[in-house]
Structure formats: C-alpha cells, structure tokens
Structure 1
Amino acid sequence: MFNLAIADLMQSITSWRLWTLLGWLEVRQRYARSRVGPFWLTISMGVIIGSIGVVYGTLFGQQMSEYLPFLAASLVMWNAFAQMVQEGSVAYINSGTYIRQAATPKLIFELQVIWRNLTVLAHNFVIVVLLLVVFGVKNWEALPLFIPGLIVYVLNALWIAMIAGLLSARFRDLPQIISALIQIAFYVTPVIYRPTSLKRFSFIVDWNPLAYLLDVVRGPLIGQPPSLLTWGVTVGMLVIGWPIALLMTGRFLKRIPYWV
C-alpha cells in the first residue's frame, strides 16, 4: 500500500509542469478581464485586516504597531491553511471528469490545490511585507525561521487535504462537515487574539495542534522564534500524519475513479 501511494506521489511530483499550470490558470480565470487581477485577493484581505485590526485592537487595548502585524500574519496564514484543506477535500470530486477519462496520478489534483493556494498566499503576503516595512521587523534573527516553518506548515496541510479528499470522495457530506469544523477551529485557535489572552481557559490553546501549526509560521514574522515545543508538535504531526495519509491513499487509490 505504501509503495503504491509513494509511486503515485512521485509521479505527481514529476508532473509538476501540469499541476502548476492548472493551478495558475484557475487563479487567472477567476479574475479574467480584471485590470487588478488576482490582486483583488490582496485588496480584499487588506480590508478585512484593517477592519478587524481597528475593532479588535481597540477592544483588546492593543498597540496597532504590534497588533496589526500579528493579525495580518495570522489571517493570511490561516486563510491559506483553511483553503488548502477545504479545497483539498473536494479535489477529487471536482476533477472527477479527468480522473475517469485519463490514467493520471491521483495526488496531482491535491498538489494542484496546494499550488493554487500558495499562489494566493503569495499575493496576500504582500500585506504582511508592507506592515513589516511600516512598523519594522522585530527580530531579524528569527525571520529566516519562516522558511522551514512554511515548509512544515504546507506539508501538514497537504497530508490533511489528502485524507480529507479521499474520505470526501467516498462520503459526499464530509466537505460540508469539514467546512464547519474549520470555522469552529478558527474561533478556538489564536488567530485574532493572542495565545496568552486565554488565562483561565489556556488549555484551549495548549491542547490545540493548529495553534502550534500557526505559531510556527507566524512567530518568525512577528519576532518570536517558535519554541522547541512548537517545532516538536508540528514535526510530530508530520511524522504521524503522513504515514496515515499514504496508507489510506495506497489502500483506496484504485477506488477513487468509481467514487467520483
């Protein structure tokens, strides 16, 4: 089973020209004939960050020079993760026509989702860069840790999307359930509030793996190097999650065309 899944993954990776092209074309088609193009995503995200930043920053009594970079990094990175998982859950369903007609590697459709959302992330990340320029980088030594953190972040999103896509192809009600769960996770994960804000209920953050996953990419951007616990939890998620995802993929890979 592992060999079958790994072979499909390797074939999908070597077909990178196909899934990068398809992912980029989908982004372009959404904003065809628009002068601003995909940067409408950036404008929309910027308005959301500005609105929430003013309202919640005032409610929480935060300094805008500290809170806005924190909020921007949180929302931009959370949005990327949420979209990867949500769109990954319907990747096989939406590509059912291609899967039934052509003998292509199946994981290519999950990689397409990841690449498309990385493209969107690159556009939205402009906001984070602008805020870092305006308010200054808090810790230049911590900033390079964003790169390994992003790799861990994306790889975790990929294995979750692989499992979600496989199960959703079999159980068609699951995408709606996943969407609801991600919405709930947004509220119990420190996205718009700081992890230290929950004093009596700090266990909500302490036992939330998504809090550590978000911190591994947000921390370096706001000048806080991720702790060893954060690295341990996020890398541990990879060690546990990827074998499960590959095992399930290898077990049900040949059934996907019948399910979709």
Structure 2
Amino acid sequence: MRLVASDIDGTILGHDGRISARTVRAFHACRDAGVEVVFVTGRPPRWLHPLQEQLGHTGTVICSNGAVVWDLEADRLVSARALELDAVLEVRRIIRRLRPAALFAAETLTGFHLEPGFMGTGSSGVLAEVTAAPLHETLRAGDAVVKFLAIVREGTADDFLAEVAPAVAHLAAATHSAPNLALLELSLPGVNKAVTLAEYAASLGVQAQDVVAFGDMPNDIEMLRWAGQGYAMASGHPEAILAAGQQAPHFDDDGVAQVLEAKLAALDVPLR
C-alpha cells in the first residue's frame, strides 16, 4: 500500500457533513506511515472544505469525476479537461428529445450555471443563491464546462443513465452518484476518476497494484476496477459493489477506517 485514493460523499463523509474521528485517525496514520493520500470526488474545488477543516488535508484532490486536478494547499488549478460549449448544448438537445422534462446545470472552472427549476422547490444552501437562467444565455464559448448535469423528477438514476449514456457517448461520458435523485453527471469522453488517478499515481511512481481505493457509487466504478485493491462500501450502489474486487464494511461502521486499520496493523503501524 503506497497510495490511498478515496471518494468523499457516502464513503468517508456522511449526510451530516461529518467525517468520523476514527476515519480521521486512520488517514493521519497513513500519512505518518509515508502512505500517500489523495481524494477523488465528484465535488468541485469550491466544496472541498471538509477535507481541510476535518482532515487537515492540504494535498492534491481529483475533482469533478476526474475532470479537474486541484492543489488544495495553493488553492489553484493544476489541470482540467472540459467540454466545449457546442457539445454541451448538443448533449442537452439529445437528452431533451429523450426526456422532455429534463433540466440542466453546468459546472465550470469559474462557477455554476443552472436552469430555472433545476434545484426544485424549497432549495436551500449555496446553489440556492445562484441566479437561474437558460444555459445558452449564461454560458460563453470560453467557459470550461468540467461537469454537465441533467435531472428528471421521475424514475431512477439507473434508468435515466441507461437511456442517455449510449445516445450521448460520442459527445460525453455519463455517470451518476446521487443515491436518491435521477441526476446524471456528464464529462468529456474518456474522462473518469480512474484515468486521472492513474496519471497522478504514475507521477508519483506508484503502480496500480500498490493503490488502495474506496468508493460507493457508479462514478467510482472505473477507479475501483483500476486500483490493485478496490473496495466498495457495503452501503454502496450494487454496481459499485459488483465492480470492486473487495468490499469495505458499511459506511455507518466506519468501513474505510476498518480496512485502513487492518492494513496498517499488517505493516506494524500504530494508530494514534
């Protein structure tokens, strides 16, 4: 074990926005043992504060499902892979033909754009403060769209993905990670967590066989397959569990911490 790569939401971070003390100790012990730690998330860079505030993480974070690499300590962009505006608007047209009720939003390197109704009624939080407007009015040709979002209010995310993914595959890669919403996340074809993690590991001279990865949702599948030791959370999506070589205990049981503790004990590394 030379590199630990972990998803955030549903893997180490709960709905209450907290990372357990046990999980924090396990990650600190990894660092103390000289094991590199990188977080690989669907979140954009502006939503990484739990890593800083609760874990004291100041290293690299792979964001937006692999589309963005962010230096948390310097608070700066390292690299990005973005969709062109024409592709975004064409993907929108295709999805609307399939699902006329679909609504859309776009994550760029400089902000968030959303259509009226995307957030639903009674929305609160930071996105509720974003002024909703048609994307063709707010997006510009120079905007780097690192994640395009599509939501419908009926059906499941799995069904929505099965319908949309093949129709837009020539323009965008589709996945999902919200457990209770039919919300799709689309990025540049060929971009996913595994691709960017593999590049990051290579930059450190680390091979896949020495990577331990944790995840819980379909947007983690490629990463869990790539890592030499991929662990899906027992509380995760069935397809993530099927894809992973191994299973970590349930999130509620500090599954990531349990796995890391066992691996550190095998290395005779004490937990503090």
Q: By the TM > 0.5 criterion, same fold?
A: no
Higher relative contact order (CA 8 A, sep 6+): 1
| Higher helix residue share | 1
What's the TM-score, normalizing by structure 1?
Answer: 0.29
What's the TM-score, normalizing by structure 2?
Answer: 0.28
| Higher strand residue share | 2
